[in-house]
């Protein structure tokens, strides 16, 4: 048994000073204020290790490697113990003098012989099983005082995983790439979860220290510098956060309280979090503080909330609504942007907090991805079986966002989705790739590798010229060749369970049920799987045509006055065939646009009793942009309108704009036009 009281030094317990957050360690003028929620304990002591001592302690480093709780008896440096005072509702608190930034600490609970890290730790230098570190957030010198924030209107999102975004896998290395992302047309980075998680690699969705940016990508100030640099480049940063479960490995919350969890609900990944009733109030306060924390101390511009369908709470206000309201207040005059993943596609999350909504600005739209994937690959196994990938589906995605708005899903055998009427197009985030959908395959291949170049170019035009908010996945902008697979650094039975779970999940795809196919699957816990997912910087040079395609389309989306409106209510469409889409973007002044998207072979239309093809009064159609252009690795585009009808080239997308009749090219059968892109960008 370890001795009680201070082991060394003159530290003493002072009266608690005013705190900024309800839990964690905060430096103040009289020392460091500690506050922890531990209602199942009768006695809590803070054990503090000086920074220089902690840095030179092999025992601390061994503790991190072994992923075991920090055993105080093994530490080869002095520890100062100070008993914290019990407060109301199961909290223990106190201010300890002689504590500075960089000092490490843990909590000794009742008669335990171990120190446990702080559930609200601001940094875990040795991982979630090691001691916590005191952090001074006030020393970083921000330069983004004039940054206005973002609100999602007109933004182009870019999902990124810091550990694989660069060969180094650090905040500092990622920061060096921000200017190029801005040049490509991105406006807001969506960073996959960074809350401290076990192991040396992972997606981040198994976080256990929700206030601590993982040590794998650098120190907290490296994260701050990344955000500051992004704002200087004109890029917003939103953080992917997981409020639906805690990770199971190296998680010691149960040592402090049994009330972090509830058995009232069944969660897909772990025990459901307890947000309800008196015992749930401190848990709510923990997450509401977390929603404030990343905005106040790291200047992020908002959040992407993971799997909101598993954030269970029957309270008023709903926990996500309470969290977003607190986050907006914390941001002050800066605009915030909040989006959510919600598999059932429930628009209640887009409703205001006072209507028991989540106050989100947007939801991910899986329907668009699934329909587009079926169109591009010609296959619809497993959950794709609810989609035909036909022209009408794609038109409905552009006009209405979700496809499933309450109809019965044959795959799920229940109704799915909710009506989208009344919501703006920007409230729906569309994508051709994201971390989940790329990894939900045997090899983690990108969609560009699963379809023809022409079909991809055509779909990219439909996607990026639609009014919904587009989201890229890292490397997609230049056609990255690297896969993205599921990876998590677990060992022993945990690793075996993850491997079995991955195979079971992929078995929903008929091709993945065969033993010989499952034998080829990458092992999630093999470091080589993680290494394969790192982006290859040379792909950017090799992918020049794909890069130019995306840059030109994003510039057209941003600068063309009709596409820049992003108004779904001013768009109409008609299938020209099961493979071909015609969209018309209307303008009160007659400055209309036509977008032809053909995924099949060459299409001839005659006669043409289609009102959408008729030009505005005293105007005609002229070519504005074509995916069939040498700049994108294709050929020049012949005229669409001829003396005998309309000819739509196969596997292509073409934009026409309305011009004065005298400037419109005559419909001549044999005249050729380049239909060259009017967009000027540099490689």
pLDDT tens-digit profile of 192-224?
999 999 999 999 999 999 999 999 999 999 999
Q: How high is the pLDDT of residue 61?
A: 53
* Contact partners, residue 340, CB within 8 Å, separation at least 6: 304, 305, 308, 320, 349, 358, 360, 362, 363, 364
Q: Which of 368, 555, 376, 532 is nearest to 463 (CA)?
A: 368
Query: Which one of the listed residues 306, 548, 560, 651 is annotated catalytic?
Result: 306
**CA-angle at 60, arms to 55 and 62, nearest 5°:** 125
Q: How high is the pLDDT of residue 669?
A: 42
Q: How high is the pLDDT of residue 6?
A: 34
Domain with CATH 3.20.20.80 in the chain: 157-365+407-486+536-550
CA distance 57 to 55: 6
Query: Which one of the listed residues 93, 118, 240, 341 is annotated catalytic?
Result: 341
- pLDDT tier at 54, thresholds 50, 70, 90: confident
Above 90 in pLDDT, residue 319? yes
Domain with CATH 2.60.40.10 in the chain: 13-133
**Three-state secondary structure of 390-405:** CHHHHHHHHHHCCCCE
- Per cent of the chain over pLDDT 90 is 83
The tens digit of pLDDT for each residue in 140-175 reads 999 999 999 999 999 999 999 999 999 999 999 999
Among 46-55, 138-147, 262-271, 637-646, the range with the most confident prediction by mean pLDDT is: 138-147
Q: Is 341 among the residues known to form the active site? A: yes
Average pLDDT on 468-472 reads: 98
Q: How high is the pLDDT of residue 665?
A: 86
The tens digit of pLDDT for each residue in 228-260 reads 999 999 999 999 999 999 999 999 999 999 999
Contact 637, 628 (CB under 8 A): yes
The tens digit of pLDDT for each residue in 604-652 reads 999 999 999 999 999 999 999 999 999 999 888 888 998 899 999 999 9
- pLDDT tier at 516, thresholds 50, 70, 90: confident
- pLDDT tier at 8, thresholds 50, 70, 90: very low
Q: Which of 25, 37, 31, 1 is nearest to 13 (CA)?
A: 31
- pLDDT tier at 123, thresholds 50, 70, 90: very high
What is the dotted CATH code of the domain comprising 565-663? 2.60.40.1180
Q: How high is the pLDDT of residue 60?
A: 60
Q: Is 146 among the residues known to form the active site? A: no
Q: How high is the pLDDT of residue 13?
A: 61
- Per cent of the chain over pLDDT 70 is 92
Average pLDDT on 558-583 reads: 97
Q: Which CATH superfamily is domain 157-365+407-486+536-550 in?
A: Glycosidases (3.20.20.80)
Above 50 in pLDDT, residue 399? yes
Stretch (H or E) spanning 317: none
**Under CATH, what is the fold of the domain 13-133?**
Immunoglobulin-like (2.60.40)
- pLDDT tier at 15, thresholds 50, 70, 90: low
Average pLDDT on 328-354 reads: 97
- pLDDT tier at 1, thresholds 50, 70, 90: very low
Residue in the structure block whose two tokens are 């003396």: 643
**Average pLDDT of the chain to the nearest whole number:** 92
Contact 350, 362 (CB under 8 A): yes
- pLDDT tier at 571, thresholds 50, 70, 90: very high
Contact 79, 93 (CB under 8 A): no
CA distance 627 to 438: 24
Q: How high is the pLDDT of residue 263?
A: 94
Contact 35, 93 (CB under 8 A): yes
The tens digit of pLDDT for each residue in 278-309 reads 999 999 999 999 999 999 999 999 999 999 99
Above 60 in pLDDT, residue 680? no
- pLDDT tier at 18, thresholds 50, 70, 90: confident
Q: How high is the pLDDT of residue 58?
A: 65
The tens digit of pLDDT for each residue in 402-432 reads 999 999 999 999 999 999 999 999 999 999 9
Above 90 in pLDDT, residue 341? yes
């Amino acid at each position: 048994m370890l001795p009680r009281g201070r082991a060394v030094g003159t530290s003493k317990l002072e009266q608690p000073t005013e705190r900024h957050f309800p839990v964690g360690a905060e430096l103040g003028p009289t020392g460091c204020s500690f506050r922890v929620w531990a209602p199942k304990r009768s006695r809590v002591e803070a054990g503090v290790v000086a920074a220089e001592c902690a840095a030179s302690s092999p025992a601390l480093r061994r503790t991190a490697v072994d992923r075991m709780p920090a055993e105080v008896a093994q530490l080869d440096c002095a520890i100062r113990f100070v008993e914290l005072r019990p407060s109301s509702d199961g909290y223990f608190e106190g201010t300890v003098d002689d504590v500075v930034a960089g000092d490490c600490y843990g909590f000794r609970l009742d008669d335990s012989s171990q120190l446990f890290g702080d559930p609200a730790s601001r940094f875990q230098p040795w991982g979630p099983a090691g001691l916590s570190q005191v952090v001074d957030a006030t020393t970083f010198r921000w330069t983004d005082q004039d940054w206005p924030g973002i609100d999602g209107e007109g933004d182009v999102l870019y999902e990124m995983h810091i550990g694989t975004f660069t060969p180094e896998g650090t905040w500092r290395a990622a920061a060096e790439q921000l200017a190029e992302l801005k040049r490509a047309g991105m406006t807001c980075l969506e960073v996959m979860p960074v809350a401290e998680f076990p192991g040396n690699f992972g997606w981040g969705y198994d976080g256990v220290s929700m206030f601590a940016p993982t040590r794998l990508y650098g120190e907290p100030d490296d994260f701050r510098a990344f955000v500051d640099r992004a704002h200087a480049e004109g890029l917003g940063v939103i953080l992917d956060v997981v409020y639906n479960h805690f990770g199971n490995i190296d998680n010691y919350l149960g040592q402090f309280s049994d009330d972090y969890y509830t058995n009232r609900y069944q969660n897909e990944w772990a025990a459901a979090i307890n947000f309800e009733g008196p015992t749930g109030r401190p848990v709510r306060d923990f997450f509401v503080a977390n929603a404030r924390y990343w905005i106040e101390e790291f200047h992020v511009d908002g959040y992407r909330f993971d799997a909101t369908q598993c954030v269970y709470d029957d309270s008023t206000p709903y926990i996500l609504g309470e969290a977003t309201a607190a986050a907006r207040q914390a941001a002050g005059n800066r605009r915030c942007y909040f989006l959510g993943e919600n598999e059932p596609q429930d628009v209640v999350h887009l409703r205001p907090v006072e209507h028991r909504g989540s106050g989100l600005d947007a939801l991910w739209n899986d329907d668009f991805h699934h329909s587009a994937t079926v169109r591009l690959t010609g296959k619809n196994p497993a959950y794709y079986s609810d989609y035909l990938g036909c022209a009408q589906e794609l038109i409905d995605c552009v006009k209405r966002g979700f496809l499933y708005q309450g109809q019965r899903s044959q795959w799920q055998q229940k109704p799915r989705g909710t009506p989208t009427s009344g919501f703006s197009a920007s409230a729906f985030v569309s994508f051709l790739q994201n971390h989940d959908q790329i990894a939900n395959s045997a090899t983690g291949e990108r969609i560009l590798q699963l379809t023809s170049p022409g079909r991809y170019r055509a779909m990219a035009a439909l996607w990026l010229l639609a009014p919904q908010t587009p989201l890229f996945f890292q490397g997609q902008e230049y056609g990255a060749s690297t896969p993205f697979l599921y990876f998590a650094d677990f060992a022993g039975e945990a690793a075996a369970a993850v491997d079995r779970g991955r195979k079971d999940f992929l078995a929903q795809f008929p091709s993945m049920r065969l033993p010989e196919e499952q034998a080829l699957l990458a092992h999630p816990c093999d470091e080589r799987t993680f290494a394969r997912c790192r982006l290859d910087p040379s792909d950017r040079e090799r992918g020049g045509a794909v890069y130019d395609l995306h840059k030109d389309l994003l510039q057209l989306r941003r600068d063309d006055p009709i596409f820049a409106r992003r108004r779904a209510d001013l768009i109409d469409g008609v299938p020209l065939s099961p493979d071909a889409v015609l969209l018309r973007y209307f303008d009160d002044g007659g400055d209309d646009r036509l977008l032809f998207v053909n995924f099949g072979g060459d299409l001839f239309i005659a006669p043409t009793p289609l009102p959408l093809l008729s030009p505005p009064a005293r105007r005609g159609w002229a070519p504005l942009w074509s995916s069939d252009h040498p700049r994108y690795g294709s050929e020049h585009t012949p005229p669409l309108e001829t003396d005998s009808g309309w000819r739509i080239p196969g596997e292509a997308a073409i934009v026409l704009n309305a011009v004065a009749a005298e400037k419109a090219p005559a419909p001549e059968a044999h005249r050729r036009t380049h239909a060259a892109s009017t967009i000027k960008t540099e490689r």
